[in-house]
Amino acid sequence: MLESFLVSLTTVAIAEIGDRTQILALMLAARFRKPWQILAGVLCATLANHALAAIVGVHLGRLLTPAIRDGAVGASLVLMALWALKADSLEVVPAGARRSGAFGATLVTFFIAEMGDKTQIATMALAAAYSNLISVVAGTTTGVMIANAPVVFLGKWFSERLPLKAIHYAASGIFLALGALFLIRAVRQGL
């Protein structure tokens, strides 16, 4: 349980840096200047989004043999490593979300932006691998919060000093190492 929590936390915290949802958090912080409401929205949106992803991941993981599951998780993490090298961009925040206040705007836009995002897919893969819904969701949600809290509070200052290219390489390396670990486990199990 501790391993699934720590792997989920570190993987997602690093993957979230420079991600489109972190860019969204920065935009919302600049727009509303209500950091606690924004963080509450991030927390609620992430919990809902990652819980759904983890439920799907756990169910998919149970349908597969351990070797095939580990192979699929390993392959998806290798693909995530490649995806982490690509810088994210963010579309404009929907106009309706702006009228709902800091919490509402963050809740809606963060939930939508998280759909199909690296961290959501990583959550699904980690839940399939570990079959521990609570531990994985707690870890991935904590990772998102750790990565976004400084951005919400320190915004512009923080974003100007981050070496995003190096962070993307580090995230890619972590995804690649985890992917290799799961692929090795799959081969050992007779994939």
CB 113 within 8 A of CB 24: yes
Question: pLDDT tens, 121-153?
Answer: 889 989 998 888 999 999 999 999 999 999 898
pLDDT at residue 39 tops 90: yes
- For residue 147, count other CB atoms closer than 10 A to its CB: 23
Q: What is the pLDDT of residue 164?
A: 61
More reliable by pLDDT, 156 or 38: 38
More reliable by pLDDT, 66 or 99: 66
